[in-house]
Amino acid sequence: MTYNYIVKNVKINLEEHPKDLGDFLPSLLRIKPKQIKGWKIKSKSIDARKKDKEGIYIVYSFIIEATNRIEIDKRAKHTLEKWAVEIANNGSCNTMKKPENPPIVIGFGPAGIFAALKLAQAGLEPRVFERGERLEDRVGDVKEFWEKGLLNGESNVQFGEGGAGTFSDGKLTTRTNSPINDEILRCFVKFGAPEEILYLNKPHIGTDKLRKVIVGIRKHIESLGGKIMFNSKVTDIIVVDGKAIGVEVNEEEKYQSNDIIAATGHSAGDIYKMFIDKGMFVEPKGFAIGLRIEHLREMIDKTQYGKYRNNPILGAASYQLAYRDISGRGVYSFCMCPGGEVVGASSEVESIVVNGMSYHERKGKNSNSAIVVTINPDDYGNTPEKALEFAAHWEKRAYVVGGGCYKAPIQTVGDFLQRKKSVSLGEVEPTYRPGTTFSDLEECLPGYVTDPIRNALTDFNKKIEGFSRWDSVLTGVETRTSAPVRVTRNNQSRESINISNLYPTGEGAGYAGGIISAAVDGIKTADAIIENYKIKQKIF
Ligand code: FAD
């Protein structure tokens, strides 16, 4: 007989942090070491709010498997509760008859990957069409772009196996509180991600580890009978009487299916245009655009962790900032990459798009984040076509201002605040590749974006000392924070509201914003399709 407990709110001062938590737990619970049969960390976070007075605390909760009942110590600061035994969920039912024309998944980013995995586990052997290269080749294409400025329009930071998040910080946080989140994280661990992502309150995996996980999941889907075709761009969706019945790939081959998941991300302008031309209901929505800011990691770590900053338990520090401008616009930091790089994330010719990425160790010289301003449909004319044109317009401006060859326009914060073109750098060196050009960033964003950023920088400097240090570097432009449109779907069936059999899914559909939420959306869409098959095949 074993007794399972969850111990919550265990706060350990960083300076007293034991080397081995296994030795520490018996004394915490006032029991003998042999009474603990097993334990694991359930959650771990850092509380640096009182770093100057009390120091930094690491706050844990643990799951304990004990041989005896443990008495609850009412005077203790931590709490102890009984814990139900976890039931491993492999998400597999594999009882379906494979249909003659299996479900189709367009796009192999997080939404497409997890939709395909779920369908494959159910025995439905999905066909996946991905316009970009498989990861092994995609890495080479991205390298060519970052090193030589040679853009492959079909295989780049946005397109190809793994989708947009592949060359990312791999932050696995999400605001959606779904039990499916854990299923996804466990799947990542199964295919090679570190176990800590299961309990850290800000889990991140890093681009290096994420790439291996993606290849592992692809091979698993294939082993279950799924077919994943790269260099396979869906060029048309065949619609008859308001029903999608198949897709055209690379303008030649045609494949039939009654279940077509469109998980094409928010960078595929061509597929949005196709949806609009087909009369599919697409609505404009709000999003955010702005600039990437880079600081020395050492400086950010110091402001967040003070004298404790080099402690390996803490790692590189992150931050999250928000400001309401006098104009009414929100300005906020987004996709913060501690110890990371600013990356060239263009997918269209002669356009600049920036984003952020880091490796698992997060040991880069700089830390960066996007500083973005909210954009409302009224800013661009309130139609889906104009939403797409709006972001594309500023990306093309940035290319021109950067002087061509995919060099990004940069400006120091000091010069940006004084509205003058930069001519030299200080201590912070930009990490963007294939190169940068001193510019006046006013030329590549509208004034209703640059002015609120200026005001926000002054405010952020009060919250993080040195945030607006003159030599911090701004790089333009950050335009792909979320989809500019929503491909509206029926809440229950998850199909497009006016084209049945077509399931807009993930970030491109406007129903997710990040790796985990896109993956959750993919799983939910696959579940809806599986339910339909169960009804058709009378599986209850
Ligand atoms: P995508 O990942 O965009 O995948 C869509 C796929 O569809 C692509 O592979 C594309 O090639 C394919 N496709 C498009 N059109 C077609 C077509 N016609 N035919 C066939 N295939 C097509 N999110 C986080 O949560 N954490 C982070 O740290 C993070 N960092 C990021 C860093 C960078 C550099 C970038 C670019 C994004 C980052 N994001 C991050 C955002 C995250 O990557 C996206 O939210 C997520 O990838 C969206 O998943 P998705 O599957 O909906 O779409």
Nearest to 468 by CA among 455, 452, 481: 455
Domain range annotation of the chain: 3-82, 104-283+489-536, 286-478
- Report the separation in Å between the CA atom of 26 and the middle of ligand 1, taken as the mean of its atom positions: 45
The structure tokens listed for 472 are 């911090």
The structure tokens listed for 345 are 């994330």
- Report the separation in Å between the CA atom of 314 and the middle of ligand 1, taken as the mean of its atom positions: 29
Structure-token match 């040679």, residue found: 150
CATH of 3-82, one of 3.40.50.720, 3.50.50.60, 3.90.1300.10, 3.30.70.2700: 3.30.70.2700
For the chain, what is the mean pLDDT? 94
DSSP code of residue 204: B
DSSP code of residue 428: P
> Per-residue DSSP letters for 98-136?
PPSS--EEE--SHHHHHHHHHHHHTT---EEE-SS--HH
> Per-residue DSSP letters for 473-527?
EEEEEE--SS-SEEE-B-TTT-SBSSSBTEEE-STTTTS--SHHHHHHHHHHHHH
With the most atoms of ligand 1 within 8 angstroms of its CB, the residue from 159, 252, 277 to mutate is 159
With the most atoms of ligand 1 within 8 angstroms of its CB, the residue from 113, 362, 515 to mutate is 515
Q: How far apart are CA 10 and CA 13, in angstroms?
A: 10
- Report the separation in Å between the CA atom of 158 and the middle of ligand 1, taken as the mean of its atom positions: 6
ipTM metric: 0.99
Estimate the crossing angle of helix 515-536 against helix 180-190, to 10 degrees.
Answer: 100
- DSSP, collapsed to helix, strand or coil, labels residue 388 as helix
- Helix, strand, coil proportions of the chain in percent (round to 5)? 30, 25, 45
E strand or H helix that includes residue 65: strand 57-66
Q: How far apart are CA 379 and CA 399, in angstroms?
A: 22
Q: How far apart are CA 268 and CA 236, in angstroms?
A: 13
Q: How far is the first Cα of the chain from the last one, in angstroms, to the nearest whole number?
A: 35
Nearest to 296 by CA among 314, 309, 312: 309
Q: How far apart are CA 283 and CA 270, in angstroms?
A: 16
- Report the separation in Å between the CA atom of 517 and the middle of ligand 1, taken as the mean of its atom positions: 11
Q: Are 301 and 309 in contact (CB under 8 A)?
A: yes
Would you write out the chain's pLDDT as a tens digit for each of its 540 residues? 789 999 999 999 999 999 999 999 999 999 999 999 999 999 999 999 999 999 999 999 999 999 988 887 778 888 888 876 544 444 555 667 888 999 999 999 999 999 999 999 999 999 999 999 999 999 999 999 999 999 999 999 999 999 998 998 889 988 877 889 999 999 999 999 999 999 998 999 999 999 999 999 999 999 999 999 999 999 999 999 999 999 999 999 999 999 999 999 999 999 999 999 999 999 999 999 999 999 999 999 999 999 999 999 999 999 999 999 999 999 999 999 999 999 999 999 999 999 999 999 999 999 999 999 999 999 999 999 999 999 999 999 999 999 999 999 999 999 999 999 999 999 999 999 999 999 999 999 999 999 999 999 999 999 999 999 999 999 999 999 999 999 999 999 999 999 999 999 999 999 999 999 999 999 999 999 999 998 888 776
Taking the CA of residue 513 as reference, the ligand 1 atom at the shortest distance is 45
Burial of residue 356, with CB atoms counted within 10 A of its CB: 0-12 exposed, 13-18 middle, 19 or more buried = buried
Q: Regarding the domain delimited by 104-283+489-536, which CATH topology (the fold level of the hierarchy) does it fall under?
A: FAD/NAD(P)-binding domain (3.50.50)
Nearest to 39 by CA among 79, 1, 4: 4
Supply the residue whose CA is at minimum distance from atom 31 of ligand 1.
168
Q: How far apart are CA 480 and CA 370, in angstroms?
A: 11
Kindly report whether the global pTM for this prediction surpasses the value 0.95: no
Q: Are 530 and 124 in contact (CB under 8 A)?
A: yes
Amino acid of residue 56: I
The structure tokens listed for 497 are 């509201």
Residue 520 Cβ < 6 Å to ligand 1: no
